[in-house]
Amino acid sequence: MRIAVAGGGISGLVAAYRLRTLLGAAARITVLEASPRVGGVLHTGELAGGPVDLGAEAFVGRRPEVPALLAELGLDDQLVTPSGLRPLVWAGGRAHALPERTLMGIPSSAETLRGLVDAAGLERVRTEPERPLEWVAGGDVDVYSLVAERFGAQVAERSVDPLLGGVYAGSSRSIGVRAALPQLAAALDRGAASLTAAVTSVLPPPSTAPVFGGLRDGYRVLLDALAARAGADIRTGAAVRSLARTEHGWVLDPIGEVDAVVLATPAPVTARLLAPVAPEASAAAGAVELSSSVVVALSLPGDTALPENSGVLIATGEGLRAKAFTLSSRKWPHLAARGGALVRASFGRFGDPGPLSWTDEELVAAAVEDLGLVTGVPIVPDGFAVQRWPGGLAQYAPGHTERIAALESGVADLPGLAVAGAYLHGVGVPACVASGTAAATRAAAVLV
């Protein structure tokens, strides 16, 4: 039997590995990746004598997929957790503590926002439960429309936008409530009397458990292990040009006939490949928009007096070019142990591809200037790495869940075809692991 996986990102590599475990040694699995390397938006570079992740650098620790996969692959010793330091938010021209007890920045009380928003904003949050809430069960709106209407624009721009920008390279205006905050949408559907009540009802109880996890030597360790254990023919620089259905299976250009296929490609590529075989699914995938971003990693002298915080998030409207800084050697003890200091600067939001066209020197200069401003510390890097991510993150816009339901419904009657990827049910690594696993199970069902 022969199976093709189009796309060699984390979703595709997990799919290939799961296909191997499901189908055994006799299966011929081919992974086709258009770019020169596998990993997609996971990429580990080198800086200051060690590995540094230049794409995603953490995963949500409360989800089980990544720790379970690391254990399965014998990589338990790679699991690391953050220091526990909290980030700052730069808003109104100064640094503030990131509000606590929020749902992606949406507050559960006014007090946690004190200092971040003005007195009128605090009063609006405090009195929100007194105002009637209009919510259509099953409906969807962008996060900004909901939060600004209930709590005011300052809350959306200073508390919510900095967090959504880090996850989606978007903003509260480009992200829908139902896809990005499903627990909140469910609470509102159940008839929560106010947004405050809805947020309070879905917040997890206080815990000292780490929120995030990471890999000591970077995501490349996981990617390499998946590629090795999949035992697949992995071809880079090999874009899938077309997909066609036959009486007995599928035909992919450039490799020919296969018995099953997993499309672990970005939404626009998936839309193009599905067009001749599942036009409605293709249209749904084509409606998912992408955002671009850039990561600039800086190595600094060890005596650089960075704040005792994990990072600095930038509120909307602050006039800075960077959208966030991760103070990596503060956030991760294993990076601090190397000596020196490491910082990651993030650029780019949905609708603003400008930073992609900046030279490395321009990006580094912007990172240095903005970091110096928000920390009040002279920044003199002794090394840097730049990674551009054109179209790297899907935007979970209002109506996203309906679009994905239409996509999955549109391929449900095509045996041996499955889709996977960060544009489906979550952009984080755990969601991608789950997506790749589910796609492998579906594709293999016609072969066992």
pLDDT confidence of residue 353? 86
Structure tokens that stand for 26 in this block: 């006799």
Phi first, then psi: what are they for 339, rounded to 5°?
90, 165
pLDDT confidence of residue 342? 98
Average pLDDT, the chain: 97
- Summarize the confidence of residues 2-29 as an average pLDDT: 98
| Among the listed residues 441, 421, 419, the one whose alpha carbon sits nearest the alpha carbon of residue 429 | 421
Structure tokens that stand for 411 in this block: 């391929």
Residue 255 to residue 235: CA distance in whole angstroms: 11
Contacts of 22 (CB under 8 A, 6+ apart): 440, 441, 444, 448
CA distance between the termini of the chain: 10
Residue 329 to residue 336: CA distance in whole angstroms: 4
pLDDT confidence of residue 279? 98
What would the pLDDT profile of 36-48 be if each residue is shown by its tens digit? 999 999 999 999 9
pLDDT confidence of residue 448? 80
Could you give the percent of the chain with pLDDT greater than 90? 95
**pLDDT at 309 exceeding the cut of 90:** yes
Residue 332 to residue 201: CA distance in whole angstroms: 31
Confidence band, pLDDT 50/70/90 cuts, at residue 206: confident
**pLDDT at 209 exceeding the cut of 90:** no
**pLDDT at 410 exceeding the cut of 90:** yes
Residue 101 to residue 283: CA distance in whole angstroms: 39
- Summarize the confidence of residues 328-355 as an average pLDDT: 95
- Token pair 């000292």: residue: 208
Contacts of 184 (CB under 8 A, 6+ apart): 103, 106, 177, 198, 199, 202
| Among the listed residues 442, 441, 377, 432, the one whose alpha carbon sits nearest the alpha carbon of residue 7 | 432
What would the pLDDT profile of 347-401 be if each residue is shown by its tens digit? 998 988 899 999 999 999 999 999 999 999 999 999 999 999 999 999 999 999 9
pLDDT confidence of residue 438? 98
**pLDDT at 105 exceeding the cut of 90:** yes
pLDDT confidence of residue 62? 87
- Summarize the confidence of residues 251-276 as an average pLDDT: 98
- What's the chain's length in residues? 448
- Summarize the confidence of residues 254-267 as an average pLDDT: 98
Amino acid 390 reads: P
